[in-house]
Structures are given as structure tokens and as C-alpha cells.
């Protein structure tokens, strides 16, 4: 493929597909929309491409994310589960969306290979992942009865010593890390945050392009 950088959504046509993310583009952790978010949504609304939004972490200020996705005229929502079928919380907040959520499952990279027959492996679980930031959204907390997006992951993380005979935990906490000899600090502090979308043009010889939005 030849990569072509496209920085203007209005240059896309109905033969293009644009992929973006609900989290940080249509909804934010603190529930505040920045000027960059507003401009992006307005530009996306006018864009002629087929628009796809990934729902990872859509629990952050769900109503805001839903309203902005509707405003941007998103055509298809994607997640690791068909939330239209499996989540009453999603159906309530995304009532305008009348399609199935397209399922895009997690797939391990090629570096993960089977080298030991299953019958010969240890009878022990392995827990990985990151505890993301608590959710301060009344819609979420009133429905789920708490602020934690991954309660099982939190329990394993908090009780790693207690369960170590049965489970090796490699779970980390996104909100803090230890400085050498110091107190926990915010992991994301001082970093520039970017959100990206992928565009591709559907022709005989497909052209792959990247669109990067800084927020």
C-alpha cells in the first residue's frame, strides 16, 4: 500500500470509510467537550464517507457520547460484543441506533504461539490488563452501582497476593505509577493525547490513508 495523509474530512467521498472512537472524541473522562471535539463532530457530520465508531470505554459519560455520535451521523458502531443484543444499558442510551453492533473480537498477535500442549500446562490462570480511570457519570453509577468499569479486574488486582496460588496477576493501574522513591503520580500527566482514525478508499487498487486528530 501507498500511504496518503488526508487532513480534510471533506475530501472523502461516499466510497471511503472513516473509523474513529467514541472515547475521547465524542465523550471525555471529565464530561467536558473541547473546541477540538466540537469542530471534529461538525466536520464529521458533513463528511460523505461511511462512518464507523468503536465503542471501547463508551461508559464514560454515555449520554454525551451517544448524542454526539448521533449528531455526527455515525453509520456503524463496533465493539467486542453485540451490545444492541446483549446490553440493556447500551440500548437505553443509544436508542437512536437501530442496527446490530458489529462484533470485532480481540485477536492475539502472531507472537503468541502454542508451544506447550494444553494438557501439560499448569492449572493456573493468568490475568492481564489495565485498571482504567473511575467513572464519574450518574448514568453509569446509578445503573451499575459503582464507578469501576472493570470490577473483576479490580478485585484481582487488589487481592493478587490472596489469589496467587491460583492466578498470576499482571494487571496494572492506569491512574498511577511509582516514581523511584516517590509517591504515585498520574501516568498520563504531561503526555500529548492523540486519537486516530483510519480511512481507506474502495477502488480496484485500494489506497490506505491515515487521519490523525489531536485532542
Helices (H), the chain: 35-46, 62-71, 83-86, 88-93, 138-144, 151-158
pLDDT in tens, 57-101: 999 999 999 999 999 999 999 999 999 999 999 999 999 999 999
User: Using an 8 Å Cβ cutoff, are 40 and 64 in contact?
Assistant: no
Mean pLDDT of the chain: 82
pLDDT tens sequence across 22-58 = 999 999 999 999 999 999 999 999 999 999 999 999 9
pLDDT(179) > 60: no
Q: Taking 50 as the threshold, does the pLDDT of residue 204 lie above it?
A: no
Instruction: Provide the residue range defining the domain that includes 197.
Output: 3-107+115-214
Percent with pLDDT over 70 in the chain: 81
Contacts of 122 (CB under 8 A, 6+ apart): none
Q: What is the pLDDT of residue 176?
A: 66
Cβ 140 vs Cβ 151: under 8 Å: no
Q: Tally the domains of the chain.
A: 1
pLDDT at 184 over 60: no
Mean per-residue pLDDT for 122-136?
88
Amino acid at each position: 500500500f501507498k500511504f496518503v495523509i488526508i487532513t480534510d474530512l471533506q475530501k472523502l467521498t461516499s466510497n471511503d470509510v472513516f473509523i474513529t472512537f467514541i472515547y475521547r472524541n465524542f465523550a471525555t473522562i471529565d464530561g467536558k467537550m473541547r473546541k477540538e471535539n466540537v469542530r471534529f463532530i461538525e466536520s464529521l457530520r458533513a463528511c460523505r464517507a461511511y462512518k464507523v465508531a468503536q465503542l471501547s470505554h463508551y461508559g464514560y459519560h454515555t449520554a454525551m457520547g451517544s448524542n454526539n455520535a448521533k449528531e455526527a451521523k455515525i453509520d456503524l458502531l463496533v465493539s467486542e460484543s453485540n451490545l444492541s443484543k446483549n446490553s440493556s444499558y447500551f440500548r437505553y442510551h443509544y436508542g437512536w441506533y437501530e442496527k446490530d453492533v458489529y462484533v470485532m473480537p480481540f485477536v492475539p498477535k502472531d507472537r503468541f504461539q502454542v508451544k506447550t500442549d494444553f494438557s501439560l500446562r499448569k492449572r493456573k490462570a493468568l490475568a492481564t490488563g489495565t485498571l482504567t480511570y473511575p467513572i464519574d457519570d450518574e448514568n453509569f453509577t446509578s445503573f451499575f452501582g459503582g464507578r469501576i468499569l472493570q470490577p473483576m479486574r479490580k478485585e484481582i488486582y487488589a487481592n493478587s497476593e490472596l489469589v496467587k496460588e491460583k492466578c498470576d496477576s499482571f494487571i496494572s493501574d492506569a491512574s498511577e505509577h511509582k516514581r523511584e522513591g516517590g509517591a504515585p503520580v498520574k501516568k498520563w500527566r504531561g503526555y500529548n493525547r492523540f486519537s486516530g482514525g483510519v480511512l481507506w478508499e474502495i477502488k480496484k487498487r485500494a489506497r490506505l490513508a491515515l487521519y490523525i486528530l489531536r485532542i
